Structure 1
Amino acid sequence: MSSSRARRIAKEIADIHADKHSKVEVEPVAGDDLTVLRGTFFGPPDTPYEGGKFHVNIRIPLEYPFRPPVMKFETKLWHPNVSSQTGAICLDTLSQAWSPVLTIKSALISLQSLLSTPEPKDPQDAEVAGMLIRNPEEFEHVAREWAVKYAGAPKKESGEGSGGATAETIKKKAQVAKDTEEKAKMAAYHGYNKDLIDRFVDMGFDVPTVVSAFEYVGIDRNEGQDYELEEAYMGDITARLFGES
């Protein structure tokens, strides 16, 4: 594994361990091998998956972070965008919408959000999608049964709703999921303006590396507003990025 790739993965794992709020976990599967990981998160509230603990197999490609991690659920679940047989996932973030700005943590948060916002019109599992479209109540019932059986979710008392699959709640949860994913992306910028950082990202560096260079040089965050850097600062940042300082 290249040293830069290994450093980035190790830093991402350390950041996940330090973040006590997201409740996302990641650990190497075999000792010091950082190319095969296991991610874990809890099912989101007000969904059939609430209270369940879900495990995800993560394989890091050679081209990471320029190619997305390969993820599939180890925990069986009943969801239109996840194969009920293989755990394969249909999610834009893990395919054409992937960006080097994203991280293992943000990908796992996107998966957690996916449990709140099923997309039956773009399914990975046609049988599950058909049930959600034709009979949302039956879908919730089966999804909850699977969460209890395979993810250790607590059984709910009779009459207690499992939440989540009406048109109104799906729309509301979709907005929450979108906001959560956007916050996860922006957190990588450490308060700097996105356009300001991305001008250096366009040179081929990833966001964490550029942000680290900005912080090393002492660049003003300017309350998150964009602005033109002085030429001397540009030189200092570029030198740092190319390892010349």
Structure 2
Amino acid sequence: MANIASQRIQREFQEVVRSEEVAKSLIAIELVNNSLLDLRGRITGPPDTPYEGGLFHLEIKGELALRQSCVTFTIVVAVPETYPFNPPKVRFVTKVWHPNISSVTGAICLDILKDQWAAAMTIRTVLLSLQALLAAAEADDPQDAVVAKQYKENPELFRQTARHWTYMYASGRRGEDRGHCQDFDAKIRRLQEVMRIDEHKALVALSSNNWELERATQALLP
């Protein structure tokens, strides 16, 4: 089984590398430590979305039946025995504000990574599906309830918040500021000064409280 999985992963890696999407810089995959057991994917934010211009990094894991635990590719000494019959475990390394992606852990709610996985699917399928998810959220089946609530109740504020997170974490803060809101920056700095907290904690508090400074301050109080 392990040999089958190893051959499959090697073939899929080559499929992604040679794909049209890689040529257009839409997706990418790389070996970490020059090992097929240690993979990292990357997708670009789709155009006409708050994620446009962002580069989002993904950690790709597999399951290994070893003492009933999940072991990442970076630790195991053999390829996952269950792949491709069970889906890979994928999470966003880049922080992102999206209803179907945890703003805390990067965990993803996507059907093909759960009960709708099929052995014919590939890593390329996963990367393209995640790019599509950024363009079309499923707020009724959220991974992050706070983000989903904002998405449904205040779509424009959600769009501005998601764009700000893209600017903060996925753009390298280089080049054109794609709709970056200076008022948001001012509120982040103010909350940092008042509460003596780091930038990310201030950003999360404000994002989760619709950028209302008083509400965010109250939420941070013990």
Same structural fold, with TM-score higher than 0.5 when normalized by the shorter chain: yes
Root mean square deviation of aligned Cα: 1.8
Task: Give the secondary structure class of the aligned counterpart of 1:58.
Answer: strand
C-alpha distance in structure 1 between counterparts of 2:9 and 2:146, whole Å? 36
1:50 has 2:52 as partner: yes
Please report how far the alpha carbon of residue 157 of structure 1 lies from its aligned counterpart in structure 2 after TM superposition.
5.2
Find 1:156's aligned residue among 178, 202, 205.
Answer: 178
Please report how far the alpha carbon of residue 144 of structure 1 lies from its aligned counterpart in structure 2 after TM superposition.
0.1
Percent sequence identity over aligned pairs: 45
Query: What does residue 17 of structure 1 align with?
Result: 17
Task: Give the secondary structure class of the aligned counterpart of 2:20.
Answer: coil
Please report how far the alpha carbon of residue 158 of structure 1 lies from its aligned counterpart in structure 2 after TM superposition.
8.2
1:23-68 per-position Cα deviation (integer Å, ceiling 9, x unaligned): 3211122222x23310001000110000100000001222000000
> Structure 1 residues 158 and 55 mapped into 2: Cα distance closer, same or farther (>3 Å)?
closer
Find 1:99's aligned residue among 118, 141, 147.
Answer: 118
C-alpha distance in structure 2 between counterparts of 1:158 and 1:14, whole Å? 37
C-alpha distance in structure 1 between counterparts of 2:92 and 2:104, whole Å? 10
Query: What does residue 167 of structure 1 align with?
Result: none
Give unpaired runs (5+ residues) of structure 1: 160-245
1:43–1:112: 8 Å Cα contact kept in structure 2? Answer: yes
Find 1:35's aligned residue among 22, 25, 37.
Answer: 37
> Structure 1 residues 70 and 130 mapped into 2: Cα distance closer, same or farther (>3 Å)?
same
Find 2:136's aligned residue among 117, 131, 149.
Answer: 117
1:43–1:49: 8 Å Cα contact kept in structure 2? Answer: yes
2:165 partner amino acid: W
2:108–2:143: 8 Å Cα contact kept in structure 1? Answer: yes
1:38 partner amino acid: R
Higher Rg of the two aligned structures: 1
1:100-155 per-position Cα deviation (integer Å, ceiling 9, x unaligned): 01000101110000001111111100000000111000000000000011000742
1:68 partner amino acid: P
Please report how far the alpha carbon of residue 3 of structure 1 lies from its aligned counterpart in structure 2 after TM superposition.
2.1
Give unpaired runs (5+ residues) of structure 2: 64-79, 182-222
Q: Matched residue pairs, number?
A: 158
1:36–1:60: 8 Å Cα contact kept in structure 2? Answer: no
Query: What does residue 66 of structure 2 align with?
Result: none
Task: Give the secondary structure class of the aligned counterpart of 2:56.
Answer: strand
TM-score normalised by structure 1 residue count: 0.61
1:73 has 2:121 as partner: no
1:130 has 2:149 as partner: yes
